[in-house]
Amino acid sequence: MNDTSNAGAMTPIFPGSKDAAGRRATLGVMGGGQLGRMFVHAAQRLGYFTAVLDPDAKSPAGLVSHHHIQSDYSDPAGLAQLADLCQAITTEFENVPSQALQKLAQTRPVAPGATVVGIAQNRIEEKAHFAACADISGVTCAPYAVIETPAQLQAALEGRTDLMPGILKTARMGYDGKGQIRVKTTSELAAAWAELGGVACVLEKMLPLTAECSVLVARGWDGQVVSFAPQSNVHVEGILAVTHAYEGNMPPALATNARDAAVAIAQHLGYVGVLCVEFFVVDDGSTHGGLVVNEMAPRPHNSGHYTLDACDASQFDMQVHAMAGLPLPKPRQHSPAIMLNLLGDVWFDASGQLQEPNWQAVLSLPGTHLHLYGKSEARVGRKMGHLTITGPDIASVKTVARRAAELLRLPGLDTI
């Protein structure tokens, strides 16, 4: 399939150029979170003006952008203002209403387009896409069943015991482990669907998982594709905790298969922009190279934050290049890296009292790169920042990462 919401040739938008009215080239982003903030920094470093549309007056991206349009994502006046200000528009999270992207695409290049964002918003459509392109990607998703109606629930209860034990996931709005319930029996499945409100869901078979990995791909309007090396990820309670990004973080054949599959998925979508494809690595003897595709994110991704410090071009640089129609240079990683996710938990002591993390000790460690997202309040489970450790070799990076994780009392220490 191809995303037809952005049909037509793309004229490059060069840094520092001006439009017919004499205004500096401006790139827009739907969403004002940390991904939008890092996109804004990358665009501004190249010389672009930026505009952010987000309803939060204190959004991290809005606070650092040239323009902040404080409106709802579906507000016609806000969308019109964004389109007037910008020469091209992207999104920083997949739950932006696809109708809003369709509206913007009537007058401006939008990357990624509404069609592919809509697929990523719905697990049912997403899994159907993965299955449809399995022949070219070489990888498919875990066995699953769609449950949207009581009749489909009954069919799953009676005929899909092969999916047990499984995970019932809401088709929409689930992320970081939210909207998911593990089930072992048919009675648990029925109770879980009721607990989730009887909304459209996917029942996915739990597989013998041995690892998780992800691949970042950037694809331009002209079909040019570049990608970063696959990164190995560790999740704790459904939230990314540690990313390992260095040669040998996974078997070479597995890394090649993951990279090829991610590129094939992007090509099949006719995707434009940065796409992250997440994979499970399983050991059941039946899947291609041990890989099962889990989900995709139509944007830069938490697991790619290490590229800011370990590569000569980051995932956000690629996002700017792709949407603006600039060439996509093949990114080069110059240092091994480990990324540690910093949740709001770090700001609380063992008794639950608010405290400032020990940045003095952490930042005295060699090769540490702290990125805080400018959020006004720390809350348990809230993504507040990340810490990337780089170094001359893998052993030294691991040593420093372990010490940093100890100082900050981070989960996943035993995987470093």
pLDDT in tens, 353-390: 999 999 999 999 999 999 999 998 999 999 999 999 99
Which amino acid would we find at residue 164? M
- Cα–Cα distance for residue pair 256/239, rounded to 1 Å: 25
The reply, when asked if residue 18 is annotated as ligand binding, is: no
The reply, when asked if residue 278 is annotated as ligand binding, is: no
3-state secondary structure of 235: strand
The reply, when asked if residue 235 is annotated as ligand binding, is: yes
The reply, when asked if residue 212 is annotated as ligand binding, is: yes
Name 348's Cβ contacts closer than 8 Å, sequence gap at least 6.
354, 355, 378, 380
pLDDT in tens, 9-23: 689 999 989 887 888
Q: Judge contact between 214 and 234, C-beta under 8 A.
A: no
How does residue 65 score in pLDDT terms, banded at 50, 70 and 90?
Answer: very high
What pLDDT, on the 0 to 100 scale, is given for residue 407?
Answer: 97
The reply, when asked if residue 73 is annotated as ligand binding, is: no
285 pLDDT more than 70: no
Which position has the token pair 């990608």? 227
The DSSP letter of residue 250 is: S
The reply, when asked if residue 169 is annotated as ligand binding, is: yes
Report, as an integer, the average pLDDT of 202-208: 91
3-state secondary structure of 110: strand
Mean pLDDT, all residues of the chain = 93
The reply, when asked if residue 102 is annotated as ligand binding, is: no
The reply, when asked if residue 10 is annotated as ligand binding, is: no
- Give all domains of the chain, ordered by start, each with its CATH number: 4-121 (3.40.50.20), 143-205 (3.30.1490.20), 209-415 (3.30.470.20)
What pLDDT, on the 0 to 100 scale, is given for residue 3?
Answer: 54
Torsion sign over Cα 241, 245, 251, 253: positive
Is the peptide bond prior to 165 cis by the omega test (within 30 degrees of 0)? yes
The reply, when asked if residue 406 is annotated as ligand binding, is: no
The reply, when asked if residue 123 is annotated as ligand binding, is: yes
The reply, when asked if residue 162 is annotated as ligand binding, is: no
How does residue 5 score in pLDDT terms, banded at 50, 70 and 90?
Answer: very low
Q: Give 412 or 240, the one with higher predicted confidence.
A: 240
What pLDDT, on the 0 to 100 scale, is given for residue 288?
Answer: 52
How does residue 289 score in pLDDT terms, banded at 50, 70 and 90?
Answer: low
Rounded to an integer, what is the distance from CA 58 to the centroid of its chain?
Answer: 22
Report, as an integer, the average pLDDT of 75-94: 96
The reply, when asked if residue 205 is annotated as ligand binding, is: yes
Q: Judge contact between 307 and 331, C-beta under 8 A.
A: yes
What pLDDT, on the 0 to 100 scale, is given for residue 176?
Answer: 60
What pLDDT, on the 0 to 100 scale, is given for residue 174?
Answer: 66
pLDDT in tens, 132-147: 888 888 898 989 999 9
The reply, when asked if residue 176 is annotated as ligand binding, is: yes
Question: In the chain, what percentage of residues exceed pLDDT 90?
Answer: 82
